[in-house]
Structure 1
């Protein structure tokens, strides 16, 4: 995997990965503003099975913000996320708050390079993948890296937090 951080894909996520010396590959694609599901659109446009493309979701766990990263075809299990973080209750965060806290727009929220570092949990299914794809910080850009490198850059952990739709 090569490091790619040219001006056409420069985002806080690519800058953070480059600074940390973590290998990644940027995969830009033509985003369709009419797409109903950003992650599934990325999988389709990049020709990758959806199990390797992960979406970044923000939730409030016992009053504090947290990040859950799950395969795009699945849903975030809020109870499982709360349990993984030692909490009791979780609910999805308002999209406007998610944008303010991360510095990214919905549909382009990357788990990497967020304005405010947040507790992060990656669904354990990622362990089965040599590499995973996550948003690169804007719609139409995904970053490919190893799951362990994703956890290293986000100070995250694995847990079973996804459930089928």
Structure 2
């Protein structure tokens, strides 16, 4: 296995069970559905980490890769009037991660985190391990525990 990411070290320290899966990102295809296919997981079990802000506070949302974050629902669960997506160019500065490698685990600060309630029905989900080309496969309740997340309805109806 390649070197451990910060997210993996945190899970080890907390004695939380997880597996990893790596994929080749050299083709530039790092969108969630492509990643799900590359790691042979159903897209419904692969989750992306999105970071939003209201001008002063950041909020993290973990949702299925095939779904779209509903910013109104997100603002409501975060207790804010309005949220907008954090610009990709600001991601590294605030989280320590880059687009395609943003993990909900091990950000620079512990931001309020919410996991889409679709995850609660699953025994395991995949999230970024904190670098492009690497996924962590983990029980959603263990993920929620380690990042102190709440499960919420977060996605747009399709």
Q: Give the structure-1-normalised TM-score.
A: 0.91
Aligned residue in 2 for 1:96: 89
Aligned residue in 2 for 1:3: none
The alignment status of 1:134 with 2:127, answered yes or no, reads yes
Change (3 A) 1:49 1:16: same
Aligned residue in 2 for 1:78: 71
Matched residues, number: 158
User: How far off is 1:164 after superposition?
Assistant: 4.9
Deviations 1:95-151 (A, max 9, x none): 122211111111100000111110000000001111000000111100000110110
Pick from 49, 52, 56 the counterpart of residue 49 of structure 2. 56
Pick from 13, 36, 40 the counterpart of residue 7 of structure 2. 13
SS at match of 1:81: helix
Aligned residue in 2 for 1:115: 108
Return 5+ residue gaps in structure 1 as ranges.
Answer: 1-5
Contact map agreement 1:9 1:26 (CA 8 A) in 2: no
User: How far off is 1:61 after superposition?
Assistant: 3.4
Which runs of 4 or more aligned residues in structure 1 lie more than 6 Å from their structure 2 counterparts after TM superposition? Answer: none
SS at match of 1:14: helix
User: How far off is 1:63 after superposition?
Assistant: 3.1
Pick from 3, 17, 24 the counterpart of residue 23 of structure 1. 17
What is the CA RMSD across the aligned residues, in angstroms? Answer: 1.4
Return 5+ residue gaps in structure 2 as ranges.
Answer: none
Q: Give the structure-2-normalised TM-score.
A: 0.94
Contact map agreement 1:62 1:89 (CA 8 A) in 2: no
Contact map agreement 1:135 1:143 (CA 8 A) in 2: yes
Aligned residue in 1 for 2:62: 69
